[in-house]
Amino acid sequence: MPTVLGLETSCDESAAAIVRDGRVLASAIASQVEEHARWGGVVPEIASRRHVEALPQLLARVLADSGLSVADCDAVAATVAPGLVGALLVGSVTGRTLARLHGKPFLGVHHLEGHLCSVELGEPLPPGPYLVLLVSGGHTELVRVDGPGLYRRLGRSHDDAAGECFDKVARLLGLAYPGGPAIQAAAAAGDPRRFPLPKGRVSRPGGGYHPHDFSFSGLKTAVLRRVQALQEAGEPLPLADLAASFEQVVAEVLVERSCRCAADEGLDTLVLVGGVAANRRLRALLEQQATARNLSWRVAPLAWCTDNAAMIALAGERRFAAGRVSAIGLGVAPRLPLEQADRLYETQACF
């Protein structure tokens, strides 16, 4: 039963965790939300510095909580792609240093593969194939999973990711950062049908639309125009109704296209992961629509939807159990498609 120490520093969450045989022995996260909220988004330089400050305490905490030392672990895993370069370097260098000091294998983990594994922190998944809807601040993708490491992207956002759109619309409405929780709270008492908003589609060069792709820039603009019209008319902003209408459209677009993609691919299982997967309206609509279409569905546990190190440790554990390790000289990559995750385990470092 391998025991893996995992580190996550791809964006603005510093995290460490220890996982053994798919079970979380200890996990600790340091959030930078309050600091970045002053700027309305993540400032890369600040994020990198805070990772440097936070990781030693987080490591000490998970080792103490688990009653283990680094020497007791079988391998060390850290996120190496994709993400903010400076932030990734902090976790990667820390992980590789610990691995060298203690003579342990190092596993460079793809952040999105971590999210794919996060659902397994709640319940086991079928062996595949199945469809994953991955929605976060930086990614909105539909990924077909045919087995461990066998990924094929079937749909994506061509502009803003869903989580990014939540942040921008929250700013338009004068709500707090991050936008996801703020809009969810504001929408709780709102009417989701009061304001009709567009479900953006992506045109194909030869005509028609990409059936499984997403676009949220038009939705964001529609909210802006609605806010401007209300302000010009001197009317108070109905924040609850605006938030609910926006949240409803995002949830409908994500679920409708996911269900269509699953049907087109002949898949009977739909999995929801990523930070936006914590949204209550999205989770409820996915359950409702998947059930109506006789689709089996799984959703990542709330505790593991947003960035965390347990999912990174679990992804590393899965790779390690399959006999894969990374080169100790492996660097980091701000952009690397999930389909290329296998490159992280080549004998010679791919970057």
pLDDT for position 17: 98
26-65 per-position pLDDT tens digit: 999 999 988 888 888 899 999 999 999 999 999 999 999 9
> E strands, 162-318, where?
269-273, 296-299
Contacts of 158 (CB under 8 A, 6+ apart): 202, 213, 214, 215
Residues of the chain with CATH 3.30.420.40: 3-117+305-345, 127-299
Residue type (1 letter), 25: L
Q: Report the CATH number of the 127-299 domain.
A: 3.30.420.40
pLDDT for position 26: 98
pLDDT for position 329: 97
194-234 per-position pLDDT tens digit: 999 999 999 999 899 999 999 999 999 999 999 999 999 99
261-275 per-position pLDDT tens digit: 999 999 999 999 999
Q: The CATH number of 3-117+305-345 is which of 3.30.420.40, 3.30.1340.10, 3.40.50.300, 3.40.190.10?
A: 3.30.420.40
pLDDT for position 166: 97
Query: Region 321-334: what's the mean pLDDT?
Result: 97
Query: Region 1-23: what's the mean pLDDT?
Result: 96
Q: Is 2 helix (H, G, I), strand (E, B) or coil?
A: coil
| pLDDT of residue 123 exceeding 90 | no
Taking phi first (over 0 means left), then psi (-120 to 50 degrees means alpha), and beta for anything else, what does residue 347 get? alpha
- Percent of the chain at pLDDT > 70 equals 100
Return mean pLDDT, the chain: 96
